Amino acid sequence: MKFLSSLDAQDRKLLLWCMGIGLSLAVVTGFLLPGANSNDNPLPSTYLSGQHGARAAYETLLRSNYQIEHWERPLSELASTSGPDTVVIFAQPFTREGEDIKAVRTILERGGRVLSTGFWGGYILPGEASGTPEEFDFAACQLSPEGLDPLAGSGEVWMVPGATWQVGNPAHRVEYGCAGQPAVVEYDWLKGHAVWWASSTPLENGSLARAHNLDLLLNSIGPRQGHHFFWDESLHGEIRSTWSYAAGPALTLLEVGLPLLGLLVVFSFSRRSGPVRDLPAPARATPIEFLDALGSLYRNAGAASTAVAIAWERFRRQALRQCGLRASKMSSADLAAVIRRRYSGADAALKTDLAACEEAAWGETISPREALRLIQTLYAHQEKLRAAARSGIHTPKLEDIHSHQQERAS
């Protein structure tokens, strides 16, 4: 049995080709797409579970009942709603935009707390005192406590410094150092408080559990009670806004998939020489439409008497058939007499109504309203005769039988 034998041979061939192409593209994409969670990715994002990711730190804070959330929208929106209870974590941010730097200053002006790491993390802080290291290489270093603040008492901390801090401002307090260079600095700025790390190593997945790195993170962001924590992801290159949800892989698939879908539609329909299915039969007019058309025809022709003649002839034939006689030419008076002999309970106005109908059938001056009344009268008499026939109400008298026989003989 063939695969999808109910399809046409050409349709089945086209479907198999499409499935093969789609499967090939999926396999190639899987091999060529870089692994975001690999250990080679140095981005300390809370969405990454690799060695340098920060997913473990974020989930640890979340499970410890810290009121924390991701921030992926423009930083100016956060600054406009910030206050003394706002704490923002910038793990290795990257930006040179003046709006982002202004937003960080606004958060500090309103009494917020900021933890920022790396060279660009110091660049966005007030003072812009961060710099590149000159006297030590990028190797793991056990930091030496140098300050007197509670942050310096976090314990043993390991870090791979990626930047240094320019010492000179007495307000900037160095809490930890590495090889004589500042590695952890904190200071007050207006109503807010800023903490800077030389790198994000202590909060990364591969280093969070080493020594007292987690304690350094907790002491840097401050107490849990009465604060709302935001882990910024907008300065990692993913700035979320209302329109950003229309971008990404979905938009790329649409840009590539819609032209391919259009080509498939063209190829699948243009090769046909005619329709694949028979056209549906035209819908017939309903009985009401037929009656309206017929009535309009009679009205336009002025043939009201014709309608009465047709109804009269139909009544005569059916009445004679019910009385057991052959259909023959018979006047209205004779027909009324035959019906009365057969059905003694016939309507008293039967003879008069039949005479009026017979006269109107051959006349030409009858109005449509009068014609309608006569046709309805004939229909009422016909229904009465049918009811009498069903109930068996008739007079099978001997003289009636003889008279019927004489009529049939005649």
Q: Domain residue spans in the chain?
A: 55-241, 287-409
**pLDDT tens profile 111-165:** 999 999 999 999 999 987 787 766 556 678 999 999 889 999 999 999 999 899 9
Q: Determine the pLDDT at residue 209.
A: 93
Backbone φ/ψ region at 39: left (φ over 0), alpha (ψ -120 to 50), beta: alpha
When pLDDT is averaged across residues 392-397 and rounded to a whole number, the result is: 52
Residue predicted with more confidence, 158 or 18: 158
Say which DSSP state 69 is in. Answer: E
**Model-level pTM?**
0.54
Q: Which of 13-17, 46-50, 224-228, 263-267 is the least confident region? A: 263-267
Amino acid sitting at position 81: T
Q: Which two tokens stand for residue 119?
A: 């060279």
Is the distance from CB of 82 to CB of 107 less than 8 angstroms?
yes
**pLDDT tens profile 254-272:** 777 788 888 877 776 655 5
**pLDDT tens profile 179-222:** 889 999 999 999 999 999 999 999 999 999 999 999 999 999 99
Local confidence band at 291 (pLDDT 50, 70, 90 cut-offs): confident
Local confidence band at 397 (pLDDT 50, 70, 90 cut-offs): very low
Neighbours of 402 (CB within 10 A): 10
- The percentage of residues in the chain with a pLDDT greater than 90, rounded to a whole number, is 37
Q: Which two tokens stand for residue 33?
A: 């797409």
Say which DSSP state 362 is in. Answer: T
For helices 350-361 and 304-322, give the axis angle rounded to 10 degrees. 140
| Superfamily (CATH H level) for 55-241 | Class I glutamine amidotransferase (GATase) domain (3.40.50.880)
When pLDDT is averaged across residues 375-388 and rounded to a whole number, the result is: 85
